[in-house]
Amino acid sequence: MTDSRTGADGTAERLVQAAARRGRPRDATVDQAIQKAGWAVLAEAGYAGLTFEAVAERAGCSRPALYRRFAGRRELVLALIETAMAEVEPYLAGVNDPRRELIEHVRGLVRYLSLPAGAATMALAQARRSDGALAEALDALFARERRYYEDALDAAAPGGLPRPAAHLLIDALLGAVMFRVALRNGSLSDEEIEALVDQMIDAARNETGVR
């Protein structure tokens, strides 16, 4: 059975796995420099301008250092996103409160978009239109992250919320965060994050008839 998150031929999943294998740390200082340089070049020049020459020059490393880590710019982008996501991933061990889980994940998203990743969001949105393999790979990564929201929303509003309705609610929540933080270069207070999460939970409970 084909997993809709990875595409018909599993291309995206292979790209994600390849990026993870090639992205294993060799020199932490070089890795950090590449991470910073990659986001900077992506934000300034877009996906088309994300060349290994430009990243190597900005990072102060050689092109072979990049090729030892990544097969190409697509794998580089995936590794950039994976690392940035890991940096903002909330620690929720022992937490059994779906509302709190949603709030902490939204806080993590705000932190992620406040990093250089936020400035590069539009560049990736444009690139995915012309690079189908990149689009599939990004979808595979983001689908994994969305599962946290889906599972927490199901727990917060039990009763069989239809998956299309859940997706719309999650899109509305994430879209509000993206608009404020990535597109308007702003932020969200804890009170605003909690209000957004509560609105989503209330809408889900209204949909399922749960109070």
pLDDT for residue 157 is more than 90: no
Higher-pLDDT residue of 202 and 22 is: 202
Distance CA 111, CA 13 (A): 26
CA distances from 159 to 62, 94, 97, 150, 154 (A): 56, 24, 17, 14, 8
Q: Which pLDDT does position 22 carry in this prediction?
A: 52
- The tens digit of pLDDT for each residue in 79-132 reads 999 888 888 888 887 778 999 999 999 999 999 888 888 888 878 888 888 889
Higher-pLDDT residue of 55 and 145 is: 55
Instruction: Tokens for 49, please give them.
Output: 């301008």
Which of the residue ranges 33-42, 155-164, 201-210 has the most confident prediction, judged by mean pLDDT? 33-42
Distance CA 138, CA 131 (A): 11
Q: Which pLDDT does position 107 carry in this prediction?
A: 94
Q: Which pLDDT does position 1 carry in this prediction?
A: 30
- The tens digit of pLDDT for each residue in 52-81 reads 999 999 999 999 999 999 999 999 999 999
Q: Which pLDDT does position 87 carry in this prediction?
A: 85
Percentage helix, strand, coil for the chain under 3-state DSSP, each rounded to 5: 75, 0, 25
pLDDT for residue 35 is more than 50: yes
Distance CA 124, CA 47 (A): 7
pLDDT for residue 193 is more than 90: yes
Q: What pTM value is reported for the model? A: 0.78
Lowest-confidence pick of 17-21, 140-144, 162-166, 202-206? 17-21
- The tens digit of pLDDT for each residue in 3-32 reads 333 343 454 455 455 555 554 556 789 999
Residue 200 backbone phi and psi in degrees, to 5: -65, -45
Q: Say which CATH superfamily domain 11-208 falls into.
A: Tetracycline Repressor, domain 2 (1.10.357.10)
Q: Which pLDDT does position 5 carry in this prediction?
A: 37
Q: Which pLDDT does position 210 carry in this prediction?
A: 58
